[in-house]
Structures are given as structure tokens and as C-alpha cells.
Amino acid sequence: MVNPIQQLRADLASRFPERKSVIDGALSAILAGEHVLLIGPPGTAKSALVRAIAQAFSGIYFERLLTKFSTPEELFGPISLKALEQDRFARVLTGKLPEAEFAFVDEIFKANSAILNSLLTLVNERVFHNDGAPIPCPLVSLFGASNELPDGKELEALFDRFMLRFDVGYLLRPANLRAVMLAPEPVLTTALSMADLRKAQRDSAAVKLTDATVDAVISIREACAAEGIIASDRRWKKSLKILQSAAYLAGAKETSPEDAALLTDSLWREPKERAKVARLVGKLADPVSSQATEILDAARETSQKVAALKSGDRKSYIAQAAQALEQFGQQKTALTKLARSAGRRAKEVISDATSDIESLHADLARSVSAGLGLRSAS
């Protein structure tokens, strides 16, 4: 039986193409009560995705874009004039971050020191100190976004609080771009409540954490350390709860080593490190999924190379396109063979990779048939 969170996952994936890994990570983080960082340029639907998730749970949502001139009032509310009359320094929290259940803070690394300390306390402890009194905050997950990585030691603590980090780029497939351009703003059909989320969080925490999963995480830690990729002990401990969430999201009652593949987006420090981390994690956690991802990446690279030839010599383009179409067929065959030894997660990865390659094949075949954008040889 599909649980409501799985329904939401499918609904989000259908409305936000090429964002499946981000969606899975975001929902896993929410189930674990952790935070997510989205790195990438503007216009990649980062805020739209977070907003859709908050609306799906009917959660209290807060959104703010920071600049170097931002003040604490923007996040935490203005100073209460009535409190000042009583020689108290209290803020009016109505509609601000301390009352939010989900939050999206764009350009979060522009937070200055006046904002940073309160933000860290709220993110870490779910507490905001107002006039010296600790106020419990209902925050489930904070989503931070930035076009660039943090610069300066004072921001390192904030960066480390994001358990999952995703490098979000522009859409790759023309068909997906066309669908997004022509479609109205994404509206989800899945409707849940915060009570549904609390139950899902309890059920997620009850997923059995297997010894094999813990052994895989320890092996990944050792392999990463050997490559100079270091994470704090706190991050490794918290990662186990994320893996329970990933297993729950997949409908499993216990974790397996393949759930540790999610750590790929927990351990990199810079986006350029992700490929190395993916190789290390994939080899130890889910080698079949890793192979499937490599096949898909190769297909995408081939597609991009052929697309770059469209405006050149017609005969050369047709020859390269025909070779690419043949490669796509071989890659689908390779995925079919991989599926025979695939585990729970790997089967889903292979299915998605096969679907993507079939779409690349169809897009290229249509382009060749129509002769769009081709220029005859001189």
C-alpha cells in the first residue's frame, strides 16, 4: 500500500521534471527533521519546490531573500514598541521565521553576524530567544539557497547544519523545458496535514536500522577520509536518521546498504567534489545503481555532443546521430541486464534511467526525421 508521503513524492516528481533526487532528498530531510541546501542559479524552481511541499502539508511557510543589507527584523520580526515602553527588548514574531514550520531563505550565506547567531540557534535547537526568554519554534526544515558557497569561517557552522546539499541546474531535456514553459504554475493534488507528517516522522524513526547499513556507512566514512573528504562525527550520526527516512520513503520496513547512496548529497563540500563522492558511495552502498547512473550520464553526454552538431554539416550530423541512436539501444540493453541483480533502490534507479534514455532516443529520432536546424554541406 502506497503511503501518503509516497503519493506526494510521485506528485512532486510529475510536476518538477529532472528534480527527482532533490525531491527524494527534501522529503527524507523533512521526515528526519533536517535541513537542505540548494546551490544553483536563479530560475531553477528551488523556491517553487519548497513552497509546493509546504502547501502539501498545509504547513506555515516563511520565505525571504537576504542581501548584505538585510536586518534581523526581516527574519525575526520588528521590535515591539509596547515592550520598549516597559524597558524590554522583545520582537513581534507574527508571520516571521520563529513561527514557521517550513522556510526558504534565498542567498542564505549573505546572513551577517547580526542575523547569524539567532539563525543558528533556531536551526540547531528550534529555539528563538526573545527578550531573553527561549521560545520553542515549530520549524520542521529550513531550505537554504545560494548561487555560491559560503566564504568565511563565520559561515561554516551554518553550512554544516544542512544535512543534504544539492547542486540544482537548469533543465537538460528540451521536452521537459517545453513542458515547464507551457504549463501553469505547479499545483499538487496530494493534500496532507501536519498531523500526517508527524505520523510519518514517527513511522520513519521506527524503521529498523540494520547492521549491514551501519557497516556500509562506516566503510564509506573510511573511503572518504582516504580521499581527503572529511565530515563531522555529528554529520555521520545524523546520517543514520536520514537513511531511515530514505528507506521509509521507498516503502521498506528496514534499511539496507543501498539507502546510503543518499549520502552522496550529504558529504561533498563543493559541487565539483560530488562526482568523487558519488563514486566512493556508489561502490560501497549500491554498485548496481552506480553503474546505472554512469550509463545514463554517458547517454546524456552523447546527446549533448550530437545536439551541438545540429547547426553544422548535415551528413556529419546524421552519421553521429545514427551512431548515438545505436548507442542508446545498447545502453538500454545494458540496463536490462543490470536489473537482474538489482536491489530495491537499484530497480527504481534503473527504471528511471531506462525511461530517460528512451526519451533521449525519441527526441533525437524526431530531430533527425524532421531535419530541424540542419544546414546542408557547402
**Eight-class DSSP state of 19:** -
At 18-66, the pLDDT tens digits run 999 999 999 999 999 999 999 999 999 999 999 999 999 999 999 999 9
Q: Which of 45, 25, 47 has its CA nearest to residue 103?
A: 47
Residue type for 292, please?
A
pLDDT at 175: 81
Residue 32 maps to a domain: yes
Return the percent helix, strand and coil in the chain, to nearest 5: 60, 10, 30
Residue 84 maps to a domain: yes
Determine the Cα–Cα distance for residues 202 and 293; give it in Å rounded to an integer: 32
Nearest-5° Cα angle at 144, 134 to 231: 90
Nearest-5° Cα angle at 113, 108 to 119: 55
Are 108 and 252 members of one domain?
no
Residue 71 has which C-alpha cell?
536586518
Determine the Cα–Cα distance for residues 273 and 219; give it in Å rounded to an integer: 18
pTM attached to this predicted model:
0.85
Residue 43 has which C-alpha cell?
530560475
Are 311 and 180 members of one domain?
no
Are 173 and 280 members of one domain?
no
Determine the Cα–Cα distance for residues 127 and 119; give it in Å rounded to an integer: 9
Task: Grade residue 235 by pLDDT with cuts at 50, 70 and 90.
Answer: very high
**Total domain count, the chain:** 3
Residue type for 40, please?
G
Tell me the HSE value of 365 on the side-chain side, using a 13 A CA sphere.
11
Position 129 pLDDT exceeds 80: yes
pLDDT at 146: 95
Are 77 and 162 members of one domain?
yes
Are 212 and 227 members of one domain?
yes
Residue 55 has which C-alpha cell?
502547501
Looking at per-residue pLDDT, the higher value among 96 and 342 belongs to 96
User: Phi/psi at 64 (nearest 5 deg)?
Assistant: -155, 140
Residue 375 maps to a domain: no
Determine the Cα–Cα distance for residues 220 and 215; give it in Å rounded to an integer: 9
At 275-295, the pLDDT tens digits run 899 999 999 998 998 899 999
Are 165 and 242 members of one domain?
no
Which of 285, 313, 343 is a domain's end point?
Answer: 285
The answer to whether 375 touches 317, Cβ cutoff 8 Å, is no
Position 374 pLDDT exceeds 60: no
Q: Which of 267, 286, 167 has its CA nearest to residue 227?
A: 267
The CATH number that applies at residue 247 is 1.10.8
Are 323 and 281 members of one domain?
no
Looking at per-residue pLDDT, the higher value among 371 and 151 belongs to 151
Which of 178, 198, 218 is a domain's end point?
Answer: 198
For the CA atoms of 347, 2, 22, 362, the dihedral, rounded to the nearest 10 degrees, stands at 50
Position 338 pLDDT exceeds 50: yes
Residue 279 maps to a domain: yes
Are 170 and 277 members of one domain?
no
Are 210 and 115 members of one domain?
no
CA 211 to chain centre: 27
Q: Which domain holds residue 155?
A: 4-198
pLDDT at 1: 60
The CATH number that applies at residue 66 is 3.40.50.300
Nearest-5° Cα angle at 179, 173 to 182: 140
DSSP-H helix ranges across 206-232 = 211-226
pLDDT at 316: 87
The answer to whether 194 touches 58, Cβ cutoff 8 Å, is yes
Residue 376 maps to a domain: no
Position 136 pLDDT exceeds 50: yes
Q: What are the residues whose beta carbons fall under 8 Å from the beta carbon of 223, sequence distance 6 or more?
A: 280, 283, 284
Stated length of the chain: 378
Residue 101 maps to a domain: yes
Task: Grade residue 344 by pLDDT with cuts at 50, 70 and 90.
Answer: confident
At 172-182, the pLDDT tens digits run 888 888 888 88
Are 350 and 316 members of one domain?
yes
Q: Which of 96, 23, 40, 33 has its CA nearest to residue 63?
A: 96
Residue 22 maps to a domain: yes
Are 39 and 11 members of one domain?
yes
Q: Which helix (H) or strand (E) holds 282?
A: helix 274-285
Are 177 and 92 members of one domain?
yes
Residue 99 maps to a domain: yes
Which of 258, 285, 312 is a domain's end point?
Answer: 285
Does residue 255 sit in helix, strand or coil? coil
For the CA atoms of 306, 309, 310, 311, the dihedral, rounded to the nearest 10 degrees, stands at 170
